[in-house]
Amino acid sequence: MHRLNVRKHSQNKGFSLIEILIVVIIIGVLTAIAIPGFVGSFDRVKLNQAVVEVRGILQEAQRQAIRKSQPCGVTIVPATGEVKNYWFDPPTSTDLNDKKFCEIVSEVVERNGHQLINPIPDKVRMLTNMENDPIQVVFGILGTDEFSVATGVASPPPLDSSGKIIFYISHSSIQEKKCLAISNTLGLTRAGAYTGNVTNAEEITDDGICTAS
């Protein structure tokens, strides 16, 4: 009877301190490995979301210009991440105060004490090869667009004269860059992965490649 009791007590014995420490260490190591992957996944979602949002506003502005038979402009502010929509009336005006909002849904977001219009997701940054700052893309009544790009090549003109907006995440484990290319005159857009230098606007025009995905 005494032996049975001893066996019973030995079977119910708990974990030792060393075993618990080993489990805690293993969990810590696995967590340290997994967290960057999770953060990278969230950053990648934000990156893709920014491209979709900016492209959607550009396309809607183009549709509004065709439907209303009146030029419609999109102003993109890389410094704040805002994407604003304006009627260009008159089309030759360069004063943003003279322009009226396009009839596109605009969301005002409070961020860092400032009210921003249609900002892209936080942490996402934009670079561009288009010369104006802020970026201005004007769609005509036929859906064509007008803008100019910076280039370091005097002659012949660059092979790819499209306007490019480069999206990337600052201080992130992911190094990939996304891009939105806008064809000059036709107004067509394509989204994809960007390869090339981003040191300045000229390099984006002359050497950058936006591969559709």
Query: What is the tens place of the pLDDT at every residue in 6-33?
Result: 455 555 566 788 877 888 888 777 776 7
Rounded Cα gap, residues 78 and 68, in angstroms: 28
Contact 64, 103 (CB under 8 A): yes
Rounded Cα gap, residues 212 and 192, in angstroms: 4
Contact 82, 116 (CB under 8 A): yes
Q: How far apart are the first and last CA of the chain?
A: 75
Query: What is the tens place of the pLDDT at every residue in 90-118?
Result: 545 555 555 555 666 677 777 777 778 78
Query: What is the tens place of the pLDDT at every residue in 52-96?
Result: 999 998 998 898 888 888 888 888 888 888 888 765 555 455 555
Give the distance between the most distant pair of CA atoms in the chain: 102
Instruction: Quote the strand ranges of 44-92, DSSP E.
Output: 72-77, 82-87
Homologous superfamily of domain range 47-212 = minor pseudopilin epsh domain (3.55.40.10)
pTM: 0.74
